[in-house]
Structure 1
Amino acid sequence: MYKFKGFDSAECGDSMSALEAMINAWMEAEHPRIRHVCQSMRGEHILLSFVYEDARLLEQRVAASTQTGITGGFPRIYDEDLMDERPTSPRIPATPPPMH
């Protein structure tokens, strides 16, 4: 699920270094997976908006899917099906078709 986080330079007295420190502290604490960033002006103030995914939630989902047998986003049954593939399979020819 995507989340939104906004930063307003007015919150830090329009100091660029203070704004950077706020954003860096958030990134270090939350480890967001940023999907979109937007910068805009509100009068004399800079607004920075982030659309992100919570990295911890993503890691939990991946761990849960691994425990249930889903790897790479595909159920385990597909992995087993691919293991049964032989070079002589009708889906994958052993030799490429001739070039004309």
Structure 2
Amino acid sequence: MYRFKGFDSAECGDSMSALETLVNAWMEAERPRIRYMCQSMRGEHILLSFVYEDTRELEKRVATQAQTGVTGGLPRIYDEDLIDECPTSPRIPVTPPPMH
């Protein structure tokens, strides 16, 4: 799930170093997987906007998939069925039908 986080330089007295410290502290604490970043102006203030994924949620999802045997979006049972049937699967022709 994507989340949004915004920073306004007005919160830091318009100090670039204070804004940088605030953003870096958030990044170190949350370890976000940033998907989109935007910098814009609001009057005399700098706005930084981030769209990110929470890495803790990602780690939980991966751990759950590993525990349930889901790999590549499909349960392992499907992977095994495909291995057993290929390459002579009756559902998938070896040569494509002729084009008219």
Question: TM-score, length-normalised on structure 2?
Answer: 0.81
Bigger shift: residues 30-39 or 83-92: 83-92
- Residue 17 of structure 1 deviates from its aligned partner by 1.3
Cα separation, partners in 2 of 1:46 and 1:64, compared to 1, 3 Å: same
- SS at the partner of 2:48? strand
Bigger shift: residues 52-61 or 65-74: 65-74
Q: Which amino acid aligns with 1:9?
A: S
- Residue 16 of structure 1 deviates from its aligned partner by 1.1
- Residue 86 of structure 1 deviates from its aligned partner by 4.6
Aligned-residue sequence identity (percent) comes to 78
For residues 9-88 of structure 1, the aligned pairs below 5 Å read 9-87=9-87
Look up the match of 1:96. none
Distance 2:23 2:40 in 1: 16
Q: Where do 4+ consecutive residues of structure 1 move more than 6 Å?
A: none
Unaligned runs of 5+ in 2: 95-100
Look up the match of 1:98. none
- Residue 72 of structure 1 deviates from its aligned partner by 2.1
The two structures, once aligned, show a CA RMSD in angstroms of 1.9
Report the count of equivalent residues.
95
- SS at the partner of 1:47? strand
Distance 1:56 1:92 in 2: 44
- SS at the partner of 2:26? helix
Unaligned runs of 5+ in 1: 94-100
Distance 2:32 2:87 in 1: 44
